[in-house]
Structure 1
Amino acid sequence: MTSDTLSSASPSSASAPSPAQAQTPRPATRRVVDATTRMLHWLMALSFTAAYITADGERWRLVHVTLGYTLAGLVVARLLWGVFGPRQVRMSVLWRKLQGLPAWLKSLAAVRSPSALQATWRPGQNLLMALAVALILALVAPLTLSGYAVWDEWGGEWLEEVHEFFGNTL
């Protein structure tokens, strides 16, 4: 091999972009949720769904209670992961998104055409997803606390109604 052949096969020359590649815009990057967060979210969804299905009847009561405790533990784990986990899954990201909600709602008032609505949809979609996550987290706390109180028979029928309300709302 000659030195010309070696230089043309070197990694530095192979990585240099051609003029056509240099002008092509790169696609927008997207933050990817880590495996731990996905696992916690799926386990929360499965725990809630199974607890909801087993809510009626005494036969499945222990399963229902166990799934409720599991859901509460998973929410606590997610909140801790949101404090100590990677930057893209932190709770601060959720709160920053929610802070943009009032401005986005004001921008909707100015929408006069479908094309203008399309331009505001993507940020709105992210905001609505953040709002859904915040509502889920806000509803799980009274759901699990009222479930614990019902299990320990702290209240009467009214407490069961509260627990059922939060379960149906979630």
Structure 2
Amino acid sequence: MPNYTIEEKESFIVLGFGTELKSNYTDYMGINKEKADFWHAVNQDGRLDTLRTLATNDYIFIVNEAVNNKMMHYAGVQTEETLPEATRVIQFPKGDYVVVKGEAPTAEELVNTVTGIAFGQVLQEATDYAYVGGPNTAVVMGQQNGQVYGEMWIPVIKK
């Protein structure tokens, strides 16, 4: 059984730069390539560094959200500040979240691992809770012993 918890979180805001994912939602290879290309771009052009200067902590948020029937993917930080060039201010509600912890050699592997476990296993096992949409996020929290560690946070409601 995957290691997960249900945690109550206060509401929080993530400011992010985003991209629309154009691949079919079942095309995992296409989606992963789009995400990898996006992350390469935000690291190269300085957008992620700009966000980091506004962050209230060292966490990097990798957010997925359906907006106006589009699959959106964001690089973001937790902050109360805004930037005129930012793509979106993402409001996460106060409430219960499925939290899946993990670690991997790279941030990309971490995100893929905790996302896969959360959506592929945990949401089926947490039968007292349901994911009803809204933004979800993988959170890269830091590095230790040569590994990147973090968590997946998915807002849920009690059935």
TM-score by length of structure 1 reads: 0.29
Larger fraction in helix: 1
TM-score by length of structure 2 reads: 0.30
Structure having greater relative contact order (Cα 8 Å, sep ≥ 6): 2
